[in-house]
C-alpha cells in the first residue's frame, strides 16, 4: 500500500485549477474573473470618494468567497461516483466551464450568500464612517492583492500584478490602507515591500483600525447583541501578523457581551481549513467541521471571526455539522450595535 509517487518523466504541468486562478488574477484582477461592477456594487449608494488619506481596500475578497464555494461545490459534484476524487478530475473542461467565463459559477451562488458577503463591505464602510473616519475606495477599478499568487508559488506573476495594484493605490493619494481581509494585509505588509519599490504605506486590518479608534474611549460600546461569544483567531492574524489582543480588548468594552475562550486560542488557534479548499475540498470541509466543534465546545451563542475565508469555511462547517452556534464576521457584529 506504500504510496509510490515517482514521476515517470519531468512533465511538471501544474494542476489546472491553479493555472485557472492565476490566469484570472493576471488577466481580470481577481481569482474568478468577476467583473468590477460585481465587486463594487455594495458601494453604489455610499458615494465614497476615490481619493483621500485613508483607503478602504476590500480586495474583492468577501465578495468572491461565495463564488469560490460555488466553484468548489460544482467541481466536487462533477466527479460523480467518486466523491473522494480531487478537482484534477475533469479539468479538461474547467477552462470552458469557468475559467474566463464565470456565468456558471455565478448561477451557482445563492442570492442570500451573495448579499451577505457583499454587505460585509458596506457594513465595514458604514462602521468606519460612523466612527468618524473618512475613507476612500477604488470602486470598480479595485483589483485583488494577489495573495493567492503568492500562496500557490506564482511569485513572478505577483511581481507584475503588485505593480498594477501599487499604481492604483498610489492614484488615490492615500497613506493608510485598511484591509478587510488579513490575507491582503499580510501580503501588503510582508511581501509587497520585497517586490515593488517604494511601497511605503501604513497597512492596517479593519480590526486594528477599530481598535485604534476605540482604545482610548472610556465607557462602553453599543451592541445589538447580548450573550456569550467566542473568538476564532485567524491563522494569518494571530501567527503572521501577531494580532491577538485587540479583539479581546474591544469585546471587553462592549456591553452585554461575555467572551468565552476556546481551548485553542490566539497563537494556538486551529486552521479553518480554508487554504485547502481549492485543491483538497473534502479535507478542507472536515478541518472546518473540527474547528467548529472546538468552538461550539465553548457553548457560546456566537463565533466572531475576521477573515472572509474563515467566515465561509466555518459557516459551512456549522451548517453541515448542524452545530448550534452562529458564525459572524467581526464587521457584521460591530455593525449591529454601532450603525443600527
Partner 1 sequence: MSSVLERLFQKYTAELNKASDDPNIQLALSRAVKSYRDNTEAALKRFPHTPKLAEEVRAIKETAIERMDELVTQARQAIEANHGKTYLAKSREDALKLAEDIIGTGKIVVKGKSILGEELEIRDYLIEKGNEVWETDLGEFILQLRHERPMHIVSPSIHVPREKVAELFTEFFGREIPPDIAAEVGAVREFMREKYFSAHFGMSGANVVAADCGAMVIMENEGNARICTAVPPVHIALVGIEKVAPTFQEAMKVAEVTWRYANYTVPGYVNIISGPSKTGDIEKVTTYGAHGPRELHVILVDNGRSEMAANPLFRQGLYCLRCGGCMYECPVFQLTAGHFGYRYLGGIGAIWTAFVAGGMDNAAPLIYTCLRCGRCVERCPVSIDVPSMIAELRRRIVELAHKAG
Site residues for partner 1 per CB under 8 A: 1-3, 5-16, 82-86, 88-89, 91-92, 150-156, 235, 239-240, 267-271, 273, 275-276, 279-280, 282-283, 286-287, 290
Q: Minimal distance in Å, beta carbon 297 to partner 1?
A: 13
Whole-number CA gyration radius for the chain: 20
Q: Minimal distance in Å, beta carbon 64 to partner 1?
A: 19
Classify the C-alpha dihedral 174-177-180-181 as positive or negative.
positive
Q: Which is nearer to partner 1, 196 or 213 (CB)?
A: 196
Nearest to 309 by CA among 79, 94, 151: 151
The residue behind cell 476556546 is 262
Q: Minimal distance in Å, beta carbon 205 to partner 1?
A: 17
Q: Which is nearer to partner 1, 6 or 112 (CB)?
A: 6
Q: Which is nearer to partner 1, 8 or 197 (CB)?
A: 8
Q: Which is nearer to partner 1, 87 or 109 (CB)?
A: 87
Q: Minimal distance in Å, beta carbon 292 to partner 1?
A: 13
Q: Minimal distance in Å, beta carbon 162 to partner 1?
A: 15
Q: Which is nearer to partner 1, 123 or 291 (CB)?
A: 291
CB atoms within 10 A of CB 297: 14
**Structure-block grid coordinates of residue 86:** 480531487
Q: What is the DSSP letter of 86?
A: -
Q: Which is nearer to partner 1, 174 or 287 (CB)?
A: 287
Report helix, strand or coil for 44: coil
Classify the C-alpha dihedral 129-134-138-139 as positive or negative.
positive
Q: Minimal distance in Å, beta carbon 152 to partner 1?
A: 6
Strands, E assignment, 128-267: 176-179, 202-205, 227-231, 257-259
Q: What angle do CA 87, 185, 269 make, to 5 degrees?
A: 70
Q: Minimal distance in Å, beta carbon 202 to partner 1?
A: 24
Q: Which is nearer to partner 1, 230 or 269 (CB)?
A: 269
Q: What is the DSSP letter of 96?
A: I
Q: How far is CA 38 from the centre of its chain?
A: 16
Amino acid at each position: 500500500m506504500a504510496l509510490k509517487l515517482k514521476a515517470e518523466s519531468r512533465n511538471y504541468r501544474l494542476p489546472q485549477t491553479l493555472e485557472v486562478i492565476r490566469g484570472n488574477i493576471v488577466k481580470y484582477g481577481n481569482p474568478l474573473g468577476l467583473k468590477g461592477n460585481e465587486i463594487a456594487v455594495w458601494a453604489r449608494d455610499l458615494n465614497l470618494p476615490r481619493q483621500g488619506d485613508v483607503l478602504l481596500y476590500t480586495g474583492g475578497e468577501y465578495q468572491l468567497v461565495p463564488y469560490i464555494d460555488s466553484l468548489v461545490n460544482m467541481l466536487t459534484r462533477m466527479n460523480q461516483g467518486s466523491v473522494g476524487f480531487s478537482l484534477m478530475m475533469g479539468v479538461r473542461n474547467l477552462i470552458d466551464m469557468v475559467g474566463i467565463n464565470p456565468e456558471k459559477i455565478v448561477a451557482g451562488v445563492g442570492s442570500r450568500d451573495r448579499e451577505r458577503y457583499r454587505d460585509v463591505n458596506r457594513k465595514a464602510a458604514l462602521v468606519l464612517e460612523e466612527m468618524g473616519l473618512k475613507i476612500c475606495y477604488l470602486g470598480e477599478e479595485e483589483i485583488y492583492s494577489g495573495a493567492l499568487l503568492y500562496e500557490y508559488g506564482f511569485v513572478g506573476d505577483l511581481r507584475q500584478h503588485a505593480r498594477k495594484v501599487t499604481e492604483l493605490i498610489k492614484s488615490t493619494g492615500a497613506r493608510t490602507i485598511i484591509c478587510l481581509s488579513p490575507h491582503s494585509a499580510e501580503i501588503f505588509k510582508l511581501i509587497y515591500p520585497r517586490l515593488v519599490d517604494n511601497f511605503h504605506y501604513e497597512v492596517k486590518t479593519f480590526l486594528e483600525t477599530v481598535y485604534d479608534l476605540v482604545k482610548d474611549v472610556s465607557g462602553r460600546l453599543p451592541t445589538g447583541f447580548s450573550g456569550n461569544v467566542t473568538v476564532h483567531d485567524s491563522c494569518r492574524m494571530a501567527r503572521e501578523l501577531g494580532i491577538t489582543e485587540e479583539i479581546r480588548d474591544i469585546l471587553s468594552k462592549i456591553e452585554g457581551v461575555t467572551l468565552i475562550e476556546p481551548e485553542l486560542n490566539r497563537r494556538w488557534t486551529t486552521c479553518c481549513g480554508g487554504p485547502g479548499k481549492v485543491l483538497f475540498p473534502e479535507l478542507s470541509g472536515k478541518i472546518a467541521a473540527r474547528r467548529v466543534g472546538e468552538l461550539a465546545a465553548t457553548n457560546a451563542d456566537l463565533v466572531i471571526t475576521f477573515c472572509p475565508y474563515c467566515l465561509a469555511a466555518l459557516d459551512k462547517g456549522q451548517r453541515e455539522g448542524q452545530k448550534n452556534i452562529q458564525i459572524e464576521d467581526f464587521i457584521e457584529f460591530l455593525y449591529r450595535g454601532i450603525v443600527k
